[in-house]
A and B are shown apart, each in its own frame.
Chain A
Amino acid sequence: MNSANPRKVTVVVEQTTADYKSAVKPIWCPGCGDYAVLTALMRAFKHLDLAKENIAIASGIGCSSRFPAFLNTYGIHGLHGRALPLATGIKLGRPETTVLAVGGDGDGFSIGGGHIPHAARRNVDITYIVMDNSIYGMTKGQPSPTSPQGIVTRAAPYGTQERPLNPLLMTLSYDASFVARCFSGKVKEMTDVLMAALQHPGFALIQVLSPCVTYYNTYKHYRQVTGPLPEDHDPSDRLAAMALAMDTTTQHLGIFYQDPERSVYSHRVKKVQAHTGEMTLYEIFERLKC
């Protein structure tokens, strides 16, 4: 699927998807797009044969942010909008861990929107899955930063007045090293993208079009407007990726952009540590003596 990033093929699969599942039954409504993400992610874990104890998932607040509870991995369900800072701390604190951040469009692009550019410019090795349903589901249907202008909701009875964000264009302009879009209606494709993202060394943002069946059911709409990226799209071409992200007729699915060569933050930290060498408290006190 992506020639720039040849995937390791795991021959022996020891884990089953059920191994990654926790005892907690998801709180999501039947038909919620987030079930597909959960399935795809567990399959990606299985295909990559990741050990459960080496996975940590951080999330904020919202329906999709309940995600970590449904997985039998390490998880932290934190504050609204703060999945990325939590994930950053986990990754830097224990770099050998596979770290994910998950959440919704309100969590990620509204209250937590200020964290994305900084995660991108640091290139911390985090896979960030944004389940974008263009609505606030948990609080029962207020407009979100990706709601189309004019939709009528309980908090916008006369229609929303704001234009929606373009999350992919935004993330591309932040120069994130991996930018992709998936759709909950296409689990197999999503699994492939998530596997590529998990293997990508650096910050990866995946926008998943994940409809809310209760407050803003967009399944039919997305089936009509989504389509694969052009066959000849080169994921190392950021300008081309931006142009595709701005396409108003088709919502393309797949890996828009990837730069696998970029240095990762935790490696740079290691370099600084190696450069400074060892020091003892006693040596510091020596310098302060008078």
Chain B
Amino acid sequence: MRASNKTVVVRVGGEGGEGTITLGDLFTRIAAYSGLDIYSFRTYPAEIRGGQVMYQTRLGTKRVMTEGDEANVLVAMNQQAWIDEHEDLCRNAALVYEAHLALPAEGHQRYPITAEQIAQDLDWPRGKNFIFLGALLWFFRLEVEAAEQTVRQRMRRHVESLEKNLAALHRGYRHARETYPEPFPFTLQATEATEERIILSGADAMALGALAAGCQFYAGYPITPATPIMESLARYLPAFDGTLIQVEDEIAAINSAIGAAFAGQRAMTATSGPGLSLMIEGLGLASMAEIPLVLVNVQRAGPSTGLPTKTSQGDLFLALYGGHGDAPRFVLAPDSVKDCYFQMIYAFSLAEYYQMPVIVLSDQAMASRQETTPLPGAPWNGPLERWVPSAEELASDYRRYAYSEQGISPMAHPGIPGGMYLAESLEHNEYGYPNQNPETHQRMMQKRANKVETARRMLSEWRMTSRRWGDRGAPFGIIGWGSTRGAVREAMDAIHAQGIPIEAIYPHTLLPMPDRAIVDFISTKRAILVPELNFSGQFGRMIEHRYYRDLDELNIHIYHCKKEQGVPFKIHEIYDATMAMVDEEHELWRQEHGELANIYNTILRIRDEQRQSKKGDRCG
């Protein structure tokens, strides 16, 4: 949508298990290595084999913020790919497809590839995806030798099939070159890279963020889509003298992590919705016994088993409020792959410094996508350490849970002489021993709650608490959280281009909310859109509830933009919802201002006409 950044959306569809994801993934990497920026998205069924798979990647000459909307290029490996995707294509899209498929493709450009025939000639029926990969290399004019290196590197464990697949790749490349020698309409020219870039998935970003934060212990249980975090740490953590253990269930995972943290380690676990439900009791223990813990929740669509491989933001309320009793915790929400890395560092800082559980909310779309991103620099702050008592502090009546206004008290661990204490899940006194006096309970509840308030004050000094951008002080606003930011950002560019001033804020700490920043933002607004990927509009309800006084006094309208379909927002969905909000607000304004509005009406009509004439193909 931004003229300065030419982007192309490539979508690959095929049967699960026939290498569709491999094709998409390899193509994405090869494009990234060639200097293009990439942003990929995948949707796949919960079954390992069978079911339709879709892999979408958006290529750009500059930083790409979303996977894009309609596809410019559709690679259809089977008929189903056409059936599923043909309504979601740009005009004049390029169709690269298996030659024997019958595609009624009026209005598009056809590039049939005889992949099955070539695969038969090569006596390698499994090589179809590599034949398509070869063809794509030609279409995008990517260097085939460099691509071969990437394939060799990525597929080195598949010794028996590697050479056959490479042969298929070269045949596909030659076939496309001979059949379609003319220029391909969507070839992009990579610009010379000005900064160092890496290819990173959200899951890897979280694992690396954990390592950067000094994580020493991980306990986890496999669950889609959080498992890649465990797999990544399984590889790296031992090299950082850390321990990773795959335990028998999520309950064991959180309790083992709590045990390790009690023993003085920086510990974490990661899971998805159903696992978080099981961990809630453990979360309460970490909160009550004041034990540092980082818990990553990679959200998937629920309730119950739900849509295990599809994305959602439906666990917000569970993360914020889940558990019996008032159990303070922090909740962080990274809003990009790169931000996943930094939020993990902040999460460990908060967990250790405040001796509390920290939930980091990611989601399937963000965890499993690949993105080119600049090499992350140093974190803005931290990592902070926990308060381990000194010998002097231990010598003078050491109280593990000493009451203080700040709420933070010194935490010894096994191995420290004189620091012996009891970490209690029962209400306890300052020494940690069980105590159920009414006053003790009230006071200890206050102590634990004070930590959140101390953090609220501290965090207001930190730059990490929210991200605000757009037209400063604009009457129209967007408040969102998490991975929807990319779509919002691109939609806002388009809205701004229509002459409508718009501004957005994305809080990174959802608990505690950066109230000052939010109130500062909303107080300049007339109407605010709250886009989120869940059914009931949890975040919007939280905003309405928390800031009702400001919203009411200043007569600010909240517009919910909810979507619970298992897939991320499209840019145009945010665009359309925002425009609908703008139109409704104008209508209200007209009603409120009567005669005066007639003059304004004329101005608007002229602008609307201009807007209509500018509104072209969204695929830009």
What residues make up the interface of A, taking CB atoms closer than 8 Å to B?
A: 22-24, 51-56, 58, 61, 66, 68-69, 72-79, 82, 84-94, 96-97, 114-115, 117-118, 122, 269, 272-273, 275-279, 281, 284-285, 288-290
Interface residues of B in 362-407 (CB under 8 A from A): 372, 375
Given A69-B433, A69-B434: A90 and B259 within 8 A (CB)?
yes
Specify which of B198, B239, B251, B264 is in contact with A288 (CB 8 Å cutoff).
B198
B211 interface hit (Cβ, 8 Å): yes
B303 interface hit (Cβ, 8 Å): no
**Is B414's CB under 8 angstroms from A284's CB?**
no
**Is A74's CB under 8 angstroms from B420's CB?**
yes
Q: How far is the CA of A39 from the CA of B37 in the complex (A)?
A: 68
Specify which of B216, B249, B262, B422 is in contact with A90 (CB 8 Å cutoff).
B262
| 16 A-B contacts (beta carbon < 8 Å) | A66-B434, A69-B433, A78-B255, A79-B255, A79-B281, A79-B282, A85-B255, A87-B259, A88-B247, A88-B252, A93-B217, A93-B263, A93-B265, A94-B415, A97-B414, A117-B248
User: Given the complex, which residues of A lie within 8 Å of B247, measured CB to CB?
Assistant: 85, 88, 118
**Is B420's CB under 8 angstroms from A276's CB?**
no
Q: How far is the CA of A23 from the CA of B433 in the complex (A)?
A: 9
Q: Mark B412-431, 1 if CB is under 8 A from A, else 0.
A: 11111111111111100000
Q: How far is the CA of A196 from the CA of B29 in the complex (A)?
A: 57
Could you tell me the distance in whole angstroms from the C-beta of B576 to the nearest C-beta in chain A? 34
Residue of B nearest to A265 (CB): B245
Count of chain A to chain B residue pairs whose CB atoms are closer than 8 Å in the complex: 185
**Is B211's CB under 8 angstroms from A281's CB?**
yes
Given A76-B423, A290-B32: A86 and B415 within 8 A (CB)?
no
User: Given the complex, which residues of B lie within 8 Å of A55, measured CB to CB?
Assistant: 414
**Is A93's CB under 8 angstroms from B267's CB?**
yes
| Top 8 A-B pairs, shortest CB-CB distance | A89-B259, A93-B260, A93-B263, A85-B255, A279-B239, A89-B256, A89-B260, A94-B263
**Is A58's CB under 8 angstroms from B259's CB?**
yes
Q: How far is the CA of A92 from the CA of B289 in the complex (A)?
A: 20
Interface residues of B in 188-224 (CB under 8 A from A): 196-200, 204, 208, 211-212, 216-217, 219
Q: How far is the CA of A82 from the CA of B282 in the complex (A)?
A: 9
Further pairs besides A117-B248, A290-B372: 9, Cβ < 8 Å: A22-B422, A54-B414, A54-B415, A73-B420, A77-B423, A77-B434, A86-B259, A89-B260, A114-B249
User: Given the complex, which residues of A lie within 8 Å of B265, measured CB to CB?
Assistant: 93-94
Could you tell me the distance in whole angstroms from the C-beta of B66 to the nearest C-beta in chain A? 19
Residue of B nearest to A101 (CB): B259
**Is B216's CB under 8 angstroms from A93's CB?**
yes
Q: How far is the CA of A97 from the CA of B372 in the complex (A)?
A: 44
**Taking each of B238, B253, B261, B372, which has the highest tally of chain A beta carbons within 10 Å of its own beta carbon?**
B238
Given A51-B417, A284-B236: A273 and B259 within 8 A (CB)?
no
**Is B198's CB under 8 angstroms from A277's CB?**
no
Q: How far is the CA of A90 from the CA of B260 in the complex (A)?
A: 5
Given A78-B285, A92-B245: A97 and B238 within 8 A (CB)?
no
User: Given the complex, which residues of B lie within 8 Å of A24, measured CB to CB?
Assistant: 433-434
User: Given the complex, which residues of B lie within 8 Å of A85, measured CB to CB?
Assistant: 219, 247, 251-253, 255-256, 259
**Is B248's CB under 8 angstroms from A114's CB?**
yes
**Is B414's CB under 8 angstroms from A74's CB?**
yes
Specify which of B238, B260, B261, B282 is in contact with A272 (CB 8 Å cutoff).
B238
Q: How far is the CA of A88 from the CA of B426 in the complex (A)?
A: 21
**Is A78's CB under 8 angstroms from B422's CB?**
no
Specify which of A56, A74, A79 is in contact with B285 (CB 8 Å cutoff).
A79
Q: How far is the CA of A38 from the CA of B14 in the complex (A)?
A: 65
Could you tell me the distance in whole angstroms from the C-beta of B204 to the nearest C-beta in chain A? 8
B469 interface hit (Cβ, 8 Å): no
Q: How far is the CA of A160 from the CA of B217 in the complex (A)?
A: 43
Could you tell me the distance in whole angstroms from the C-beta of A56 to the nearest C-beta in chain B? 4
**Is A78's CB under 8 angstroms from B414's CB?**
no
User: Given the complex, which residues of B lie within 8 Å of A72, measured CB to CB?
Assistant: 420
Residue of B nearest to A84 (CB): B252
**Is B262's CB under 8 angstroms from A86's CB?**
yes
**Taking each of B33, B219, B252, B289, which has the highest tally of chain A beta carbons within 10 Å of its own beta carbon?**
B252
User: Given the complex, which residues of A lie within 8 Å of B260, measured CB to CB?
Assistant: 89-90, 92-93
Residue of A nearest to B256 (CB): A89
**Taking each of B238, B262, B422, which has the highest tally of chain A beta carbons within 10 Å of its own beta carbon?**
B422
Could you tell me the distance in whole angstroms from the C-beta of A210 to the nearest C-beta in chain B? 21
Interface residues of B in 81-137 (CB under 8 A from A): none
User: Given the complex, which residues of B lie within 8 Å of A69, measured CB to CB?
Assistant: 422, 424, 433-434
Given A276-B238, A290-B32: A68 and B420 within 8 A (CB)?
no
User: Given the complex, which residues of A lie within 8 Å of B248, measured CB to CB?
Assistant: 114-115, 117-118
B258 interface hit (Cβ, 8 Å): yes
Q: How far is the CA of A118 from the CA of B419 in the complex (A)?
A: 31
**Is A88's CB under 8 angstroms from B434's CB?**
no
Could you tell me the distance in whole angstroms from the C-beta of A127 to the nearest C-beta in chain B? 15
User: Given the complex, which residues of B lie within 8 Å of A97, measured CB to CB?
Assistant: 263, 414-415
**Is B425's CB under 8 angstroms from A79's CB?**
yes
B524 interface hit (Cβ, 8 Å): no
User: Given the complex, which residues of A lie within 8 Å of B217, measured CB to CB?
Assistant: 89, 92-93
Q: How far is the CA of A89 from the CA of B218 in the complex (A)?
A: 9
Interface residues of B in 1-58 (CB under 8 A from A): 29, 32-33
**Taking each of A79, A118, A269, A276, which has the highest tally of chain B beta carbons within 10 Å of its own beta carbon?**
A79
**Is B199's CB under 8 angstroms from A78's CB?**
no
B257 interface hit (Cβ, 8 Å): yes
B600 interface hit (Cβ, 8 Å): no
**Is B413's CB under 8 angstroms from A74's CB?**
yes
B180 interface hit (Cβ, 8 Å): no
Q: How far is the CA of A58 from the CA of B34 in the complex (A)?
A: 55
